[in-house]
Amino acid sequence: MQEFRNKIAAICCFNVKNDPVLCGFKKLFGDTAEESFEGYSEIVGTVLKSGGTLAEYFHDMLVFSESPVLNEFAYGKTAKKDHSILRLDAVKSDLDIIRGLCEETAAQVQIRLNTFYDTLDFGKLPLYDNGVFDYEPQYFLDYIRTNGSGMFAKYKAFTFDGELHPIENPDKIRLSDLKNYEEQRKQVVDNTVCFLSGKPAQNVLLYGDRGTGKSSTVKAIMNESKYLRMVEVSKNDIAELPRLFRKLKDIPLHFIVTIDDLSFSENDDRFGILKAVLEGSLSAKPENILIYATTNRRKIIRETASEREISGADAIDESMSLSDRFGLFVTFMKPDKKVYLDIVQKLADDRGLDVSEEELFAAAERFALKRGGRSPRTARQFIDWLDGRIALGLAY
């Protein structure tokens, strides 16, 4: 009884042969009843854990996998017409195999197993819901063109250190969670909308005091669009940016590369590399990539007092030469007392905290004093602290 094994072995366009459910099907009608029992248990356990039907599980398995054949079409690469037909026929063959695995119910599989083996009662095992798998190659081709394939379909955020690593649990902050600084955020949002619409857009430098929401603005923008992907690059890995660009340039998605807390020491090679990446290199930055960086420093090059005395205007010009390569420069400054307390009030309203304005503002000011100053970050930390104190009936 090699039926299931032969079917799965024939899958050729999707890289899914190590999938746990498919491996479970390969074990069905194996050499021993115990092996089949194990295979069926793997199928049931994995599908039930997914929270959906077998068909839904296979759908996600395929859209989150890599299909080099479909990528050839989705990424705009051309092929001879007869070759294209052959490739789509191969994808259809893979989908027919998956459809066949979904058509036989779990109860029917148990009956076949009980007929084939008489040493174990498969009917005592739980059932899974098959669902309906009814997808054609064009569906997956359209999906890849819109959402990417493989990890780009499954994840929105990544880190890069020479290799891409998906972030499984990115910060879920939304623009509605950020209070005040509407003018600053609108500049960044509008620029991103232009980028996603295929219109001219700028690399962005978000400058200002610590805790004013620069990084939070960038993360929130990612969460507002399902078509945007974000790649976080540390200052230490700036030299790897050309390699990253080569990896992303043919992916049919829009990427924002983020660099947080940008600053350089004197004679730092990464300074020149970033300048060339932004503007000045012979090879142009891919059109599907923008760089959004944050910094607390107007002068991105850090200098000692003696260096400032010696270098003077030349050092200022060199430092500003990088800032000027960002087409959009957005400033976030530390809030005054009025703005700080307004942020506190709005955050408290969002949480539905039952506390008088007088008590709220007095506690917020005490909290800011202990934290060394007012900022949107301090306001959010205060509201988190206050929410917990109120919930537990503790003094604040």
CATH, residue 317: 3.40.50.300
**What pLDDT, on the 0 to 100 scale, is given for residue 157?**
97
Domain final residue pick, 305, 332, 359: 332
Same domain as 364, residue 282? no
Main-chain dihedrals φ then ψ at residue 36, nearest 5 degrees = -65, -40
Cα–Cα distance measured from residue 72 to residue 3, given in angstroms and rounded to the nearest whole number? 31
**What pLDDT, on the 0 to 100 scale, is given for residue 319?**
57
Name the residue with tokens 């509201």: 383
User: With bands split at pLDDT 50, 70 and 90, how would you rate the model's confidence at 250?
Assistant: confident
Same domain as 310, residue 280? yes
In angstroms, the Cα distances linking 152 to 157, 177, 182 are 9, 26, 31
Same domain as 354, residue 221? no
**What pLDDT, on the 0 to 100 scale, is given for residue 57?**
97
Same domain as 115, residue 187? no
Same domain as 206, residue 77? no
Residue numbers of the domain that contains 35: 3-148
**What pLDDT, on the 0 to 100 scale, is given for residue 146?**
86
Main-chain dihedrals φ then ψ at residue 125, nearest 5 degrees = -80, 155
The pLDDT > 90 percentage for the chain reads 60
CA angle 237, 243, 245 (to 5 degrees): 105
Q: How many domains does the chain have?
A: 3
pTM of the model: 0.85
Same domain as 269, residue 183? yes
Domain final residue pick, 126, 148, 170: 148
User: With bands split at pLDDT 50, 70 and 90, how would you rate the model's confidence at 69?
Assistant: confident
Under DSSP, the state recorded for 235 is: G
Same domain as 357, residue 291? no
**What pLDDT, on the 0 to 100 scale, is given for residue 105?**
93
Same domain as 293, residue 171? yes
Mean pLDDT to the nearest integer, 320-325: 76
Mean pLDDT to the nearest integer, 7-36: 88
Same domain as 303, residue 184? yes
Tell me: pLDDT of 224 over 60.
yes
User: With bands split at pLDDT 50, 70 and 90, how would you rate the model's confidence at 283?
Assistant: low
Question: 156-167: per-residue pLDDT in tens?
Answer: 999 999 999 999
* Phi-psi region at 224: left, alpha or beta (left = phi > 0; alpha = psi -120 to 50): alpha
**What pLDDT, on the 0 to 100 scale, is given for residue 76?**
62
Same domain as 181, residue 259? yes
User: With bands split at pLDDT 50, 70 and 90, how would you rate the model's confidence at 372?
Assistant: confident
**What pLDDT, on the 0 to 100 scale, is given for residue 122?**
83
Tokens (6 digits) for 257? 């590369």
Domain final residue pick, 117, 148, 179: 148
Tell me: pLDDT of 124 over 90.
no
Tokens (6 digits) for 324? 């000027």
Same domain as 211, residue 192? yes
Tokens (6 digits) for 347? 């955050």
Same domain as 316, residue 178? yes
**What pLDDT, on the 0 to 100 scale, is given for residue 141?**
87
Average pLDDT score, the chain: 87
